[in-house]
Structure 1
């Protein structure tokens, strides 16, 4: 544990009873509702299992994005939206760590196995990856921002939400999640989520 984590631990203990309103999770956003179901998985961690520390954010880990795979992508998918969210923060709203818009056409390394599935390699959610555009997330941060539970606060769950869109959103025109939601409304063909956890 780093010195910064040690210093923050008493605050985490103090706030253990506080969690964000779960109904405000993107999982329940009407704008992101879709008829289809995507199956989201990872070779980095199993659904409901612990996320390795190397996938943690700066100051806690190496901030390396985990591998993600999704299947069940409907015909007509033009873009894939990935949102990483922590609903266990001691704030009024869940914290969105990452908002990424991914080209579903794949790349030269063959991330996509066929027309109905896709993936991102471990470490692929970087600002230099031309397959990915970013919408500003919490505190206007772009790119992958890994788990960073408040030390002493207990277990935080992290949802890796994946959406198949029938349109192409322009990340440069979106200032954040509030701007993205109305643009995505009516364009979600299918959705799925993979959940992991880390202990603060």
Structure 2
């Protein structure tokens, strides 16, 4: 009960959407011409529990689809953040670089690592998995504080005019430095998750 009281008191405390990669100066000039969607949830609606984090759901990364990537793109980068945490910065739930710019989707489970990794039929999918919050690699599904209210999970896709060359485990800070001035286009989708 005390945890829920603390969570309710912290409801107004949020990192803020303007602290996400989407609003970083490195990407601000890029047009929003990529349509990013998921067959698992509608933009602005609830994310199913299957995609929630360890101890809450199955911690499986949702399927993602996109269109509108410029033909001259050299690489795609995906960043997933929760801007509603009661912390100074959003929590990074996933960082993926090296996505083939000719691809149009990532299947369910594509960015999982370890026991929650899901095998998928398309063996041609190549990408480099980065490091999110708390030094976690791969996808970390929604797991907001119970009673803190709804949290937004911002899936952000950036098309670049050059290859970043970032290796496994790259952090969001390194990614943002690498893409600065090289973003051709971007798109985002937001899912909502809340724990009572």
TM-score, normalised relative to structure 1: 0.84
Q: Which residue of 1 aligns with 2:172?
A: 177
Q: Which residue of 1 aligns with 2:48?
A: 52
Q: Which residue of 1 aligns with 2:93?
A: 97
Instruction: Write the distance in 1 (CA, Å) between the matches of 2:108 and 2:139.
Output: 11
Q: Which residue of 1 aligns with 2:8?
A: 13
Question: 1:37 is paired with a residue of what secondary structure?
Answer: coil
Q: Which residue of 2 aligns with 1:121?
A: 107
Matched, 1:196 2:196: no
Which consecutive unaligned segments of at least 5 residues does structure 1 have? 1-5, 107-111, 113-117
Instruction: Write the distance in 2 (CA, Å) between the matches of 1:89 and 1:141.
Output: 17
The total of aligned residue pairs comes to: 185
Asked whether the equivalents of residues 69 and 101 of structure 2 are also in contact (C-alpha less than 8 Å), the reply is no
**Displacement after TM superposition at 1:36 (Å):** 5.1
Q: Which residue of 2 aligns with 1:164?
A: 159
Distance 1:171 1:142, change over 3 A: farther
Instruction: Write the distance in 2 (CA, Å) between the matches of 1:151 and 1:9.
Output: 6
Distance 1:77 1:21, change over 3 A: same
Instruction: Write the distance in 2 (CA, Å) between the matches of 1:191 and 1:94.
Output: 19
More divergent stretch after superposition (165-174 vs 71-80): 165-174
Which consecutive unaligned segments of at least 5 residues does structure 2 have? 118-122
Distance 1:140 1:182, change over 3 A: same
Asked whether the equivalents of residues 98 and 163 of structure 2 are also in contact (C-alpha less than 8 Å), the reply is no
Moved over 6 A (4+): none
Question: 2:6 is paired with a residue of what secondary structure?
Answer: helix
**Displacement after TM superposition at 1:96 (Å):** 1.1
**Displacement after TM superposition at 1:8 (Å):** 4.4
Instruction: Write the distance in 2 (CA, Å) between the matches of 1:16 and 1:40.
Output: 29
Q: Which residue of 2 aligns with 1:87?
A: 83
**Displacement after TM superposition at 1:125 (Å):** 1.2
Distance 1:11 1:99, change over 3 A: same
TM-score, normalised relative to structure 2: 0.86
Instruction: Write the distance in 1 (CA, Å) between the matches of 2:38 and 2:56.
Output: 21
Instruction: Write the distance in 1 (CA, Å) between the matches of 2:142 and 2:157.
Output: 17
Instruction: Write the distance in 2 (CA, Å) between the matches of 1:12 and 1:104.
Output: 41
Over aligned residues, Cα RMSD in angstroms? 2.1
